[in-house]
Amino acid sequence: MSAVLEQVRNRLGAGWEMYWGYPPKGVYLLKEEYLSDPSLLTRQCGGERLVVIYIAAVAGDFAVVYGRVKPHNVGCPVATFVKEFNRSEVRAAVRALVEYATAVDKIPVFQINPEVLRFAGLCDEYPVVCEEPEVVVKRLENRELEKSERSRAAVSRSEWVLGEVLRVLSDLVERDPFYVEVLKKVVENPEKLKECYD
């Protein structure tokens, strides 16, 4: 257990204090549906291996808490890491929790509570979380449409190039009938032509 706590302390960096017990009351970083039911952990709490960890960024009387278990009647030991931030540092405090959750615990961003990001002014950094799902889907559809339009433009450029090549070849054949024989050989064995350019 102490090794796990030491890992968390090292990953959080300076300024975070640990105490045994539940986090302060506050807003949770994760959406409630992604917080585990503590009764499911009770069977796993034997021994000293499992400890439930919360990380709280506190700004005055406001706290944002990151944890993966609902903080009610947890039968395991509970440790909370807390750091005080100034009110003006709410954005930095929430960003620290988001970065820890996504980078260290590999939490997908869609599990993050968008209201917390809006409050902290982080929607510019995490627009997929803050925007309504319909808006995100529409944006993705528009990107796909743009890709297909670019692809069509590339095809039409290729067609133009091919047309120009045919026009030049037709002009050459009209001037010198020997080019007909060259073209026949290229069509019969295109690999031979590739060898000329390698």
Alpha-carbon distance 86 to 79, whole Å?
Answer: 23
Q: What is the count of structural domains for the chain?
A: 2
Q: How many alpha carbons fall within 13 Å on the CB side of residue 49?
A: 7
Last residue of a domain, one of 73, 94, 129: 129
Task: Transcribe 10-23 into DSSP letters.
Answer: HHH-TT-EEEESPP
pLDDT band at 67 (very low <50, low <70, confident <90, very high): very high
pTM value is: 0.66
Alpha-carbon distance 63 to 32, whole Å?
Answer: 16
Same domain, yes or no: 63 and 47: yes
In terms of average pLDDT, the best of 16-20, 39-43, 143-147 is 16-20
**Can you read off the two tokens belonging to residue 63?**
């706290």
